[in-house]
Amino acid sequence: MSNSFSQMILFQVKPDRLDAFELLIRAIQAEQQALPGCIGVKYMKRFYTFDGVENGKPPRELTRIVKCVKYYSYLEFDTIENCGKANGWFFDRHARDVMKLLIMPFEINSGYSV
């Protein structure tokens, strides 16, 4: 398959650790962008929801933290092999520090882009 290989990661961050997570993830993102075969790296903090919103209207802003704040990352690589190497790099260098800031282990989903 000639499409790029992508992965999405869900991080459920402890409410009292948001600043530490964002500081750490900015440093990690800069390093990830320089990894071999990396096409793109994006992170998103969930601020809005479509729950209870009328069809066609913009999402509403979240007003309170229930148990965690969700962050998502989207990484795209030229090959599945380079994605695997990047995962190894992440686990070797940063996973332990990231895990300390989460309520549960992060979830990774991956596959070829469509």
Cα 94 to Cα 21: distance, rounded to the nearest angstrom: 11
Q: How would residue 100 be classed by pLDDT, with cut points 50, 70 and 90?
A: very high
Rg, the chain, Cα only: 16
Q: How would residue 2 be classed by pLDDT, with cut points 50, 70 and 90?
A: low
Cα 89 to Cα 81: distance, rounded to the nearest angstrom: 12
Which residues are CB-neighbours of 66 under 8 A, at least 6 positions away? none
- Amino acid residing at 87: N
Helical pair 80-93 and 18-33, crossing angle rounded to 10 deg: 140
Mean pLDDT, residues 17-39: 96
Cα 15 to Cα 92: distance, rounded to the nearest angstrom: 26
Domains and CATH numbers, the chain: 5-112 (3.30.70.100)
Percentage above 70 pLDDT, the chain: 98
Q: Tell me what pLDDT residue 66 has.
A: 84
Mean pLDDT, residues 67-86: 96
- Asked whether the beta carbons of 67 and 17 are under 8 A apart, the reply is no
Cα 78 to Cα 96: distance, rounded to the nearest angstrom: 26
